[in-house]
Amino acid sequence: MSAADKSHAALRTRARRLAMQALYQWDLSGSNLSAIEVQFIEDEDFTKADKDYFHELLHQVPARLDEVEQAFAPYLDRSVNELDPVERAVLRMAGYELLARIDIPYKVVINESVNLTKKFGAEQAYKYVNGVLDKVARNLRAVEHPQGHGGSGLLKT
């Protein structure tokens, strides 16, 4: 990976972290997405984050919420509403990426999600998130995943 690729990856990692926090806030407060975005842009340092990717995640995850949740809900052991809010935000964001951002390898999506859950979630929650997302990737990214099965399941973007 070149230095430019590493820099871009770091910007995306920070954008995901901020987007997960913003989606968490949206989920719990029901606040307007644009108001949340303004607050984050004012309060956070976006010099080390991909602002456009943050915007995409913050707006596209809620816009496609039904599709995103349908991608991972079959692999849960409880309803989406019973998930811990951090796990729910991470799974929604990762579900969107697995569905709509085929330019991002599924392993990157899972790894970033596990790291976010380790940092912000309950102590062992990352194992649950990893297991759910691996099953989602087997289905949605069958061509990429070594144990993939089923059709593409990809959204048209």
pLDDT computed for residue 79 by the predictor: 97
3-state secondary structure of 123: coil
The predicted pLDDT at position 2 comes to: 74
- Residue 156: count of CB within 10 angstroms of its CB: 4
Q: Which fold has domain 3-140?
A: N-utilizing Substance Protein B Homolog; Chain A (1.10.940)
- State the residue for tokens 């070594």: 146
CA distance 73 to 39: 30
Question: What are the residues whose beta carbons fall under 8 Å from the beta carbon of 5, sequence distance 6 or more?
Answer: none
Q: Where are the domains of the chain?
A: 3-140
- Structure-block tokens of residue 148: 């993939």
Closest CA to 144 of 104, 113, 116, 111: 104
Task: Determine contact, residues 26/37, Cβ cutoff 8 Å.
Answer: no
Q: Answer whether 156's CB lies under 8 Å from 100's CB.
A: no
Q: What is the pLDDT of residue 146?
A: 73
| pTM check: above 0.75 | yes
Report CA 105 to chain centroid distance, whole Å.
13
What pLDDT does 63 receive? 98
The single-letter DSSP state of residue 147 is T
The contacts of residue 157 (CB under 8 Å, 6+ apart) are: 100
User: Nearest Cα to 49, choosing from 71, 16, 76?
Assistant: 16
Judge residue 99's burial from the number of C-beta atoms within 10 Å of its C-beta, 0-12 exposed, 13-18 middle, 19 or more buried: buried
Tell me what pLDDT residue 149 has: 57
Write out the chain's pLDDT in tens, 157 residues: 677 767 889 999 999 999 999 999 999 999 999 999 999 999 999 999 999 999 999 999 999 999 999 999 999 999 999 999 999 999 999 999 999 999 999 999 999 999 999 999 999 999 999 999 999 999 999 887 777 554 444 443 3
